[in-house]
């Protein structure tokens, strides 16, 4: 069964550093997403991406965040200057369409900011 893959599984970085989290969505999917889950808390929406542009973003997704689909298979989340409170699990997801298409999640990247 096709799946969403994320790398790395764990990323440790120092406060103020830039990180790039990588994702390979399911190949025939058209919608891509990033969610995050702070330890012990709810999964929170960050951003959705369709047709090479952001279609929706949350208030969490401020100017230090950016997303990119640099080629036909990868989807990345960049955090420009990490803060301690950015420590969380970051999940990438993709779906075939916008309606009647459940999200398929990757196994996440655990980001630890020290």
Partner 1 sequence: GESVGLHLPTLSVQEGDNSIINCAYSNSASDYFIWYKQESGKGPQFIIDIRSNMDKRQGQRVTVLLNKTVKHLSLQIAATQPGDSAVYFCAESSQGGSEKLVFGKGTKLTVNP
**Residues forming the site for partner 1 (CB under 8 A):** 4, 31, 33, 35, 41-45, 48, 55-56, 58, 91, 93, 95, 97-108
Name the 3-class secondary structure at 56: strand
In angstroms, give the least distance from the CB of 85 to partner 1: 19
What gap in Å lies between CA 57 and CA 7, rounded to an integer? Answer: 22
In angstroms, give the least distance from the CB of 100 to partner 1: 7
Nearer to partner 1, 4 or 77 (CB): 4
In angstroms, give the least distance from the CB of 81 to partner 1: 25
Residue 69 CA: distances (Å) to CA of 14, 15, 100, 108:
25, 25, 24, 18
């Amino acid at each position: 069964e096709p799946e969403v893959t994320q790398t790395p599984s764990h990323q440790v970085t120092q406060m103020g550093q830039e990180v790039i989290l990588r994702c390979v969505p399911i190949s025939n999917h058209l919608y891509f997403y990033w969610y995050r889950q702070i330890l012990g808390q709810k999964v929170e929406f960050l951003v959705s991406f369709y047709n090479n542009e952001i279609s929706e973003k949350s208030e969490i997704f401020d100017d230090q965040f950016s997303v990119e689909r640099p080629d036909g298979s990868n989807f990345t989340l960049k955090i420009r200057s990490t803060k301690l409170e950015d420590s969380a699990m970051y999940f990438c997801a993709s779906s075939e369409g916008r309606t009647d298409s459940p999200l398929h999640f990757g196994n996440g990247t655990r980001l630890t900011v020290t």
